A and B are shown apart, each in its own frame.
Chain A
Amino acid sequence: MASVKLTKVKKIYDNKVVAVHDFDLDIQDKEFVVFVGPSGCGKSTTLRMIAGLEEISEGTVEIDGEVVNDLQPKDRNIAMVFQNYALYPHMTVYDNIAFSLRLQKLPEDEIYEKVTNAAEILGITDYLLRKPRALSGGQRQRVAIGRAMVRDSKVFLMDEPLSNLDAKLRNQMRAEIILLRQKLNTTFIYVTHDQTEAMTLGDRIVIMKDGYIQQVGTPTEVFEMPKNLFVAEFIGAPKMNIMRTELTREGDKYFVKPFGVKLEVDGAKGAALAAKHAEAGEVILGVRPEHIVLTHAGEPGAIPCTVEVNEMMGSELHLHVLTEEGTRLIVRVPTIDLEGEERENMVNGHKLYVTFRGKVMHFFHPETEENLLN
């Protein structure tokens, strides 16, 4: 059993700067949790507090029910993969991986077993006698993982392990980490600034900003029901389109009027608004680029705009369009949906019409930025 529980954990530096505020989280055994957020949001600091590399200013961290605040890293039974791998440069790959085992004074035979096993899983058996400087970035990454793997620890911590790899390698390693997770069957806590990694790897995602937790949830939850504007904009690429508009109410129905075009908030969203007795008034409206569809002039809810930039992504076009009053929107259009001529027309200056349904609308309070349907 290796659950991790953080209760009201705070990190305050000497100069009174608070890096992490009141962090509360319950991580189940064998769960893969991702801490994600922009630089400086406190995710790495929290991870390091769990590891014992940073002192916990307030609150408690429990691993497997035991409070570990005063324990040294080596006594917490954790393993960690660092962002810059932190491989011991003067030792061979074998010695790097064997280091912790030798400190535990295990017999060499056992060490040999464990190291070669891990090497085989990671595909680095050929490099066991090489030194880190003779390895590529991806290979070093695997050695770092191998070093953490052999410890049979309760919790596996990873601090932005993929940040130093190029894009292609990153995708490849992501898949390997998922495989690794299945093999190791232990609790993972993973830190990244990349929301794609968070979405693909995590059972649950913890989104942080400025030291505060913004939302904790499964990838689906944070994608479909972002708790506030920050989460909505952070998750999903390209960013969600944000517009300020007015929410009006007519009986049981709600309407928004983005760019002068009246749209009904139909379907489940409208019902939810009604259930919450949402007040009419100014509101921040969010719609994801993939949820905006092309339509024609004259159709209900058609918003006129002009194409500024057209990014050809292969299977999609990312259209950057400008509405009549100057707001920029991004619209994702599958290329397959466009006939040849239509595709040619998507150039700067081309006029088109877009619209969206109620079920893809997200509403946020104009001041608190909280989701109205929380």
Chain B
Amino acid sequence: MNEKRHLGLKASARISNTLIYILLVIMSVVWLIPFICIVLQSFRVESTYPVGYVIPQKWGLDNYIALWNSDFKRWYLNTFIVALVTAALQTVFVLCMSYTLSRFRFKLRQGLMRLMLVLGLFPGMLTMIILYRVLKDLGLTQANAVPGLILVYVASSAMGYYVSKGFFDTIPKSLDEAARVDGATRAQVLWKIILPLAKPIVIYTILTAFMGPWGDFVFARYVSFGTSSGMNVAVGMYSWLSLDQIGSRYTMFCAGGVIVAVPVTLLFLFLQKYYVEGVTGGAVKG
């Protein structure tokens, strides 16, 4: 009687595994479909408006050529510069903050962490207006949106210290102490001992800092305020999908999407292991 109810370890495992495989395949397809569609659509040349089918009837590079001839070039350059500079500076800021909070115990430490927690609860949108005005007065908007964006992204970036701090917390403090007994100043401890050990989190921070500006829509839009030469890719491409432009720009949007997504995705894949390490290691210890 019992043999009928229990399929046995091996058989039941095989069934559940098969089910899982099926589920995973379905999931993979579902997750990748939108991108496959975008790629396919970017090669469509018989029309430029949104259609109800996926596979192009006529294939060609028209959309990509159109990209090259449009403002897209400028937007891409803008976003790239912003991302590069932001990645560098933001990493410095975030690491300074997270290292300090992890290693030093000073009077205002708790208060500072609580303050940043509270500040983070405010909707970010709120400060947009005033920041725009400040930038405007400094002349860093519209055509000069790029330095303005960099300034804003970098300035408050240290508030995102949680993941890095979590990581630093896992490095034993006795290493710091041993180095100090050996004669190192705290600056030397950071530079010679801790940073070499923090490679994964440094790469994670650079990676996330680099990826951020590509997707910022709201603030970039506000700051560029209609001046095309100051826009980033998100803002520019969004305008292509507005009701009056979508007819002629839909396929260009897809092509643009491909051009934007590919390098970022490749970079991400390349550094994937650091990203994963950062998320799983630092994010949860937090």
Contacts and interface: CB of A to CB of B under 8 A. Distances in A.
A87 B193 CA distance: 10
Contacts of A151: 182
A73 B174 contact: no
Given A86-B172, A100-B182, A147-B182, 11 more contacts: A51-B181, A74-B180, A79-B181, A83-B174, A87-B178, A88-B179, A89-B197, A90-B196, A99-B179, A103-B184, A104-B183
A304 to B, nearest CB: 54
B190 to A, nearest CB: 13
26 contacts: A51-B177, A52-B181, A53-B177, A53-B180, A53-B181, A72-B180, A73-B180, A74-B185, A80-B181, A82-B174, A83-B174, A84-B172, A86-B177, A88-B178, A88-B179, A88-B193, A90-B196, A90-B197, A99-B182, A99-B184, A100-B182, A100-B183, A103-B182, A103-B183, A103-B184, A151-B182
A74 B177 contact: no
Does more than half of chain B's interface fall in helix, strand or loop, or is it mixed? helix
Interface in A51-91: 51-53, 72-74, 78-80, 82-84, 86-90
A151 B179 CA distance: 13
B197 A74 contact: no
B70 interface: no
Contacts of A86: 172, 174-175, 177-178
Interface residues of A, number: 23
Interface string B141-179: 000000000000000000000000000000010110111
B47 interface: no
B188 interface: yes
B88 to A, nearest CB: 23
Interface string B218-255: 00000000000000000000000000000000000000
A125 B192 CA distance: 24
Interface of A: 51-53, 72-74, 78-80, 82-84, 86-90, 99-100, 103-104, 147, 151
B186 to A, nearest CB: 9
A104 B184 CA distance: 9
Contacts of A83: 174
Given A88-B193, A90-B196, A74 B174 contact: no
Nearest to B185: A74
A67 to B, nearest CB: 19
Q: Which of A74, A80, A86, A104 has the most CB of B within 10 A?
A: A86
A151 B178 CA distance: 13
Interface string B178-215: 11111111001000110011000000000000000000
5 A-B pairs with the lowest CB-CB distances in the bound complex, closest first = A100-B182, A86-B178, A86-B174, A74-B183, A103-B183
B181 A74 contact: yes
A133 to B, nearest CB: 12
Contacts of B193: 88
B41 to A, nearest CB: 48
A88 B177 CA distance: 11
Contacts of B179: 88, 99
B77 to A, nearest CB: 38
Nearest to B176: A86
A86 B171 CA distance: 10
Given A84-B172, A84-B174, A73 B181 contact: yes
B182 A82 contact: no
Interface string B117-136: 00000000000000000000
Contacts of A82: 174, 177-178
A11 to B, nearest CB: 15
A51 B196 CA distance: 26
Nearest to A99: B182
A6 B188 CA distance: 30
Contacts of A80: 177-178, 181
Contacts of B178: 80, 82, 86-88, 147
Contacts of A72: 180
